[in-house]
Amino acid sequence: MVRYQDRLAGESAKAYALRELTENIIKMELKPGALISENELSRTLGVSRTPIREAIQELVKARLIEVFPQKGSYVASISFDAVEEAAFLRRTIESAIVEELCDSITDAQLKSLYENIDLQEFYLKSGTSEKIMNLDNEFHEMLFVISGKEQTYKLMHSAMGQFDRLRTLSLYSVKDIKIVSDHRAIVDAIRDKDKENARSLMIKHLMRYKLDKDEVIRAYPDYFK
């Protein structure tokens, strides 16, 4: 079921529409092939059709929405070419981030990362997929924030839509989820100042989608190009 949140204080109508559409597409509340109705969104979000249309154009650029003349706008299928490109970007940047953190991380920062992982383990045991996804996102963002590269994270995050949808489906369909144990191993390597291991663990972690690919496609064959 599509769930729209309230508009944030000071948030423009376009930013609000873009945030809500993006989150629902990535969380698979709006599934591939779903019609995007400008009129319905305008009524639901309480904004005019112009910012809705502008948000849709942004998501066309991100390859999350496709517009067909005379037919309408639809949530795009997941493209593995786009997933591969996004995964390459993440591997390149985040493997460098963890190497750098081996030289600079503080005990307090390590503690905050481990606290996040402890919560991930709790929700993994309780089977709360959405909580794990949110904490997973928070974990990776924390690495950028701790290293002083918040703007880099924002730029990278804007290109991750296709990759993030595959991550969402993996949480719902892959039986043996490794992301939490991966996170702990990565932080252990950073704590031990083992740059080579931290880098290789991050690369392995961000390559898991290749191992999960067949299982996800079997569960959701209609969602892919």
Tell me, yes or no, whether 96 and 192 share the same domain: yes
Which CATH number is 24's domain given? Answer: 1.10.10.10
Tell me, yes or no, whether 136 and 149 share the same domain: yes
Tell me, yes or no, whether 128 and 46 share the same domain: no
Tell me, yes or no, whether 48 and 113 share the same domain: no
Tell me, yes or no, whether 60 and 165 share the same domain: no
Task: Decide if 53 is inside a domain.
Answer: yes
Count of the separate structural domains present in the chain: 2
Output the pLDDT for position 1.
Answer: 63
CB neighbours of residue 48 within 10 Å: 12
Task: Decide if 5 is inside a domain.
Answer: no
What is the DSSP-derived secondary structure letter of residue 36? E
Task: Decide if 175 is inside a domain.
Answer: yes
Domain boundary among 75, 99, 129: 75
Tell me, yes or no, whether 47 and 105 share the same domain: no
pLDDT one digit per residue (tens) for the chain, 225 residues? 677 889 999 999 999 999 999 999 999 999 999 999 999 999 999 999 999 999 999 999 999 999 999 899 999 999 999 999 999 999 999 999 999 999 999 999 999 999 999 999 998 888 777 788 899 999 999 999 999 999 999 999 889 999 999 988 888 877 667 889 999 999 999 999 999 999 999 999 999 888 888 888 899 999 998
Domain boundary among 46, 75, 104: 75
User: For residues 84 and 93, what is the distance between their CA atoms, to the nearest angstrom?
Assistant: 14
Tell me, yes or no, whether 86 and 70 share the same domain: no
Tell me, yes or no, whether 30 and 129 share the same domain: no
For 58, the domain range is 13-75
Tokens of 192: 């031990």
Tell me, yes or no, whether 89 and 29 share the same domain: no
DSSP string, 91-121: HHHHHHHHHHHHHH--HHHHHHHHHHHHHHH
Output the pLDDT for position 172.
Answer: 80
Tokens of 60: 């066309």
Output the pLDDT for position 89.
Answer: 96
Tell me, yes or no, whether 176 and 86 share the same domain: yes
pTM, two decimals, is: 0.87
